[in-house]
Amino acid sequence: MSSRHKRTKACSISQKTKKRVYERDGKCCIFCGAPGLPEAHIVPRSHGGLGVEENIVTVCRSCHDLLDNSTHRKEMLQEAAGYLKSIYPEWKKESFIFCKWRKDKGGEVSELKRNSKQADSGGETEEKAQKDKVEPPDGFRFI
């Protein structure tokens, strides 16, 4: 058994995910176009942000510093969310927060991917997604 906690594993970015994000973003920062690295979480790790490609963007060091340490954070996150929504039309920030009660074990198969499979099968996507959610008791959620 690994010594890392389940939440730590779920929030870490695997090499496979980094490669997919790097290719998806054209190997450049989504904000300025400079060469960058696929390492910025839209939902931060500190808030349980999963290390899945739908929650990660490629950024240069300068823009990553601005994203983490400036008053421009809110605007940059909105821009990044818009960018991800253009790629994943059903993208929702709430889908990428670790919850140990979720059936997908903290992001192994993201809710966004599960919803797109349901839509392909002609099912009631929104209703089914709500039914499948397992909510923990109040006070026990990672947000």
Q: What is the DSSP letter of 20?
A: H
- If one compares 109 and 71, the residue with the highest pLDDT of the two is 71
Q: What is the pLDDT of residue 103?
A: 53
**pTM score of the predicted model:** 0.63
List the domains of the chain with CATH numbers: 6-98 (1.10.30)
SS3 assignment for 58-120: EECHHHHHHHHHCCCHHHHHHHHHHHHHHHCCCCCHHHHECCCCCCCCCCCCCHHHHHHHHHH
- The pLDDT tens digits for 10-57 are 678 889 999 999 999 999 999 999 999 999 989 888 788 888 899 999
- The pLDDT tens digits for 95-106 are 777 776 555 544
Decide if 48 contacts 97 (C-beta within 8 A).
yes
Q: What is the mean pLDDT of the chain?
A: 75
Decide if 28 contacts 67 (C-beta within 8 A).
no
